[in-house]
Amino acid sequence: MTGAGGLRSECSLTYDRGVQHPAEFFDRVREERAEFLERAEVEPADEVAPGFVTVRARARPLSPEDRRDAIITAILPLLRERGRDVSTRELAEAAGVAEGTLFRAFGDKESILEAATARVMDPLPLRTALRGIDRELPVEERVVAIVRALRARFTEVGRYMAAMGLRDGPAHHVTHRNPGEWLEILREILAGDEHRLAVDVDTLAHFVRLVTFASSIEQFARPRRFDDEEIASLILHGVIAPN
From 83, 102, 120, the end of a domain falls on 120
- 199 and 139 within one domain: yes
The residues facing 119 across adjacent strands are: none
Is residue 102 a part of any domain in this protein?
A: yes
Q: Name every residue whose Cβ is closer than 8 Å to that of residue 54 and which is 6 or more positions away in sequence.
A: 1, 2, 44, 45, 46, 48
Count of domains observed in the chain = 3
Confidence class for position 58, pLDDT limits 50, 70, 90 = low
Same domain, 12 and 115: no
| Comparison of pLDDT for 164 and 167, the residue scoring more | 164
Final residue before a domain boundary, out of 17, 37, 57? 57
Domain-located, residue 207? yes
pLDDT category at 13 given cuts 50, 70, 90 is: very low
Q: Are residues 133 and 229 in the same domain?
A: yes
* Rg of the chain in Å (alpha carbons): 25
Q: Which domain holds residue 75?
A: 64-120
Q: Is the pLDDT of residue 126 over 70?
A: yes
Q: 215 in a domain, yes or no? A: yes
Per DSSP, 18 falls in state T
What mean pLDDT value characterizes the chain?
81
Does residue 242 fall inside a structural domain?
Answer: no
C-alpha–C-alpha distance, residues 200 and 214, integer Å: 22
The larger pLDDT score, comparing residue 63 to residue 36, is at 63
CB-based burial label for 31 (10 Å; 0-12, 13-18, 19+): middle
Q: Are residues 130 and 227 in the same domain?
A: yes
Q: How many residues does the chain have?
A: 243
Residue 99: which CATH number? 1.10.10.60
Domain shared by 31 and 107, yes or no:
no
Residue 139 in any domain: the answer is yes
- Do residue 126 and residue 226 come from a single domain? yes
**7, 51 Cβ separation under 8 angstroms:** yes
**CA separation for the pair 66, 58 (Å, rounded):** 15
- Are residue 143 and residue 225 in the same domain, yes or no? yes
Domain annotation covers residue 243: no
15 Cβ partners below 8 Å, 6+ apart? 25
Confidence of residue 170 (pLDDT cuts 50, 70, 90): low
Asked if residue 97 is part of any domain, the answer here is yes
37 and 81 together in one domain? no
**pLDDT digits over 183-195, tens only?**
999 999 999 999 9
Distance between CA atoms of residues 28 and 14, nearest Å: 8
Q: Which of 5-9, 33-37, 158-162 has the lowest mean pLDDT?
A: 5-9
